[in-house]
Amino acid sequence: MFAIIADGFAADVPKHKKQFNRFLKEFLTCLTDKLSDDKASIALAGLGNFAAIVPVFMGADALPKIHARLLKYGDDLVAIREGIKLKWMLLCRYTTCYGRFVQKV
């Protein structure tokens, strides 16, 4: 679903810039707020699918910044989950999202 949205946004950048920024803000907020694992998982899926179009809307400088936030989120995710059972679905979404950003940076 997010891949289809990303493709649609990239088809007409000036027309969809505002919507793109709304989605991106929501996804990035989920990385800093303490939300349920389901919401964080959905945000990571969306963010990963948007990795390819971030430079189109925000320039190449945005990718390293988001990459840095993902690194911190991953460190926090592992640290939080060390003492309790790791949520594999959330970790899977994180690694997929992170991998897409690494390919683009």
Q: What is the predicted pLDDT for the residue at 83?
A: 54
Distance in angstroms (rounded) separating the CA atoms of residues 67 and 98: 7
Q: What residue ranges of the chain have pLDDT lower than 70?
A: 1, 35, 80-86, 105
- Structural domain boundaries of the chain? 2-104
Q: pTM (2 decimals)?
A: 0.75
Token readout for 16 is 């969809």
Closest among 1, 41, 49, 7 to 24, alpha carbons compared: 49
Q: What is the predicted pLDDT for the residue at 80?
A: 65
Q: What is the predicted pLDDT for the residue at 85?
A: 61
Q: What is the predicted pLDDT for the residue at 92?
A: 81
Distance in angstroms (rounded) separating the CA atoms of residues 39 and 34: 10
